[in-house]
Structure 1
């Protein structure tokens, strides 16, 4: 009898382990999504507050109204392109009475979503970007489109330190890693705390441009897809840090596509994002400038991981100092 009970107990334990493993696999985060949130550049202009540490913003020659007009046209064309490629694009529009938000077109910095129904809000550095954080409007948009919002976690009480979302942090979701370049917008302590909260390993490093200025966001020098990583390795000037980042990417079996300073700084070649559309087809969204700046060999490597979707966003890139990835906030929330 004791032997039979022992065998039954072992079977129950085995079944429990299998069930737990399956439940865990169901909650694993995909690297890509078919649904994204974008914000129209209603107030778009040169942002003097962010220019303090974003060396890639260029003062426009055109009058303000024309800059905004061009940005809106580029945005609308990009949205239509993505929808034509069967990506769900949810638009978070500005409402009457809300303050001026010159950089609202870059929403990935103030929130991210998770498949458990969670939305995380992040502390932004400049006052005119802090007003972009509109959780009620975001929740309303998402629930209206059939997504579950179970909890909103507000990480903004940060004692003057900043962690600007998926601009600061590059996630390798399938391997539970957070890659991040420390900067004024990526505080090392907040980074470690948030990564630990998600149970992700932190891979932090220092990265600087060809002018020896820290990259304001990690996603200007690095991006990660399902099986590839685009990165400006030369910008990680400490040999031990660079070797560590390479090793971590290789451990995750990522094909490394190394880009030059010029490709990163002048053409935003690292500021791209891999999606999977509603047909489960892989896409890689990038700017037209980035597409033209990749070498033939680099394009071939990228095309092995998804169809390239180049978007003409030259006004947004030059005046805003950000590119295609910055304009896209992924929606990983579950359906209601």
Structure 2
């Protein structure tokens, strides 16, 4: 049941001052305006976060929670953008596009990984922010850990030079494509467009601009033995692509309640052939333009054996 694609542990950041980030709204079409006070929005997000953690832990997933009490990191609930972990003991730390998102990096998270898991090296790309480069982790890239492919939408959040460097360091093949929504707006992060499980892939092929590239992406996903669950743009708008497969008591697909409601019965049935959908109710958090996958930084590292006294 264990899978290279579906980690059994995650890092989550508990937000005490959540709000939709004003520095990212210009290129994140998924952001919406809250109609409540800042205090109410923050309290609602905190309650949604705690409910999500409880649900994940109840399903057997190990969740490492870190509190963020600062007021200048509105997107801190989405840690998958600033670091990623990889089998063999490798960790990457990424440069971020928005100034206030750069404040989300915290080395106590990396220290926990070193303490509880086998970490061989940490490759820190964040200094490249000074050169105007960004590569926003597993938001910018959707990684096929089995087929070793980094699916990446062209955007200001995914510098092509840095993508090549990451792929060289971490042994992935970059597969880059242009994607737009129905209004012609660029997709800002690949992980709102697609998610890859062990035996299936969720993706809106219609949003890939070039028909030839669209066919190539679908073919690559099928080559790895996965069924391709083709999502509609409306389903993407409801975050149906922003999901992460995890290993708990059984293999699960963590996604938002809104995302699950948007899926058709036949699509759910295809997922259920290998994973059980696990809906998390996070409507306030989704106003920031990200959903469940963005909240989960998967840990693809081997746990350290505890030596008993």
Task: Decide whether the 8 Å contact of 1:139 with 1:149 is kept in 2.
Answer: no
In the alignment, what sits opposite 1:32? Answer: 6
Residues 169, 218 of structure 1: 8 Å contact kept: yes
The residue that corresponds to 2:58 in the other structure is 84
CA displacement at 1:99 relative to structure 2: 5.8
* Offset of residue 86 of structure 1: 0.6
Aligned with residue 112 of structure 1, among 84, 90, 113: 84
Alignment of 1:70-219 (within 5 A): 70-94=44-68, 100-134=72-106, 136-144=107-115, 146-158=116-128, 159-219=131-191
Cα pair 1:99 1:131 within 8 Å, conserved? no
**Runs (5+) with no aligned partner, structure 2:** 305-309
Displacement after TM superposition at 1:130 (Å) = 0.3
Structure 1 stretch displaced more, 223-232 or 110-119: 110-119
Residue of structure 1 equivalent to 2:16: 42
Structure 2 equivalent of residue 333 of structure 1: 301
Q: How many residues matched?
A: 300
Q: CA deviation at 1:143?
A: 4.3
- Which structure ranks higher in relative contact order (CA pairs < 8 Å, sequence separation ≥ 6)? 2
Residue of structure 2 equivalent to 1:288: 257
What is the CA-CA distance between 1:80 and the residue it aligns to?
0.1
Q: Give the Cα separation in 1 of the matches to 2:4 and 2:301.
A: 11
Using the size of structure 1 for normalisation, the TM-score is 0.86
Distance in 2 (CA, whole Å) between partners of 1:35 and 1:156 is 24
Q: CA deviation at 1:202?
A: 1.2
CA distance in 1, matches of 2:301, 2:176: 27
Counterpart check, 1:313 vs 2:282: yes
Counterpart-to-counterpart distance in 1, 2:122 and 2:170: 14
CA deviation digits over 1:255-299, x for unaligned, max 9? 00001111101x10000010111x4x1100000001111011111
Q: Deviations over 1:79-136 (max 9, x none)?
A: 00000001000012236xx5621000000000001232222100100011000011x2
- CA drift of 1:151 comes to 2.2
- Tell me which of 218, 240, 252 is aligned to 1:269: 240
Partner of 2:307: none
- Cα distance change of structure 1 residues 237 and 143 upon mapping to structure 2, 3 Å threshold: closer
Q: 1:243 and 2:212 equivalent?
A: no
Q: Is the 8 A contact 2:15 2:67 kept in 1?
A: no
Q: 1:153 to 1:204 in 2, by over 3 A?
A: same
* More deviation, 107-116/146-155: 146-155
Gaps of 5+ in 1: 1-28
**Which of the pair is proportionally richer in helix?**
1
Q: Distance in 2 between matches of 1:195 and 1:140?
A: 24
Superposition TM-score, scaled by structure 2 size: 0.94
Distance apart, 1:190 and its partner CA: 1.4
* Equivalent residue number for residue 12 of structure 1: none
CA contact (8 A) 1:208 1:235 kept: yes
Aligned Cα RMSD in Å? 1.4
CA contact (8 A) 1:288 1:313 kept: yes
CA distance in 2, matches of 1:229, 1:323: 17
Larger Rg: 1
Tell whether the 8 Å contact from 2:15 to 2:68 is kept in structure 1 after alignment: no
Report the Cα distance in structure 1 between the residues aligned to 2:50 and 2:164, rounded to whole angstroms. 37
Equivalent position SS for 1:37 = strand
Q: Which residue of 2 aligns with 1:6?
A: none
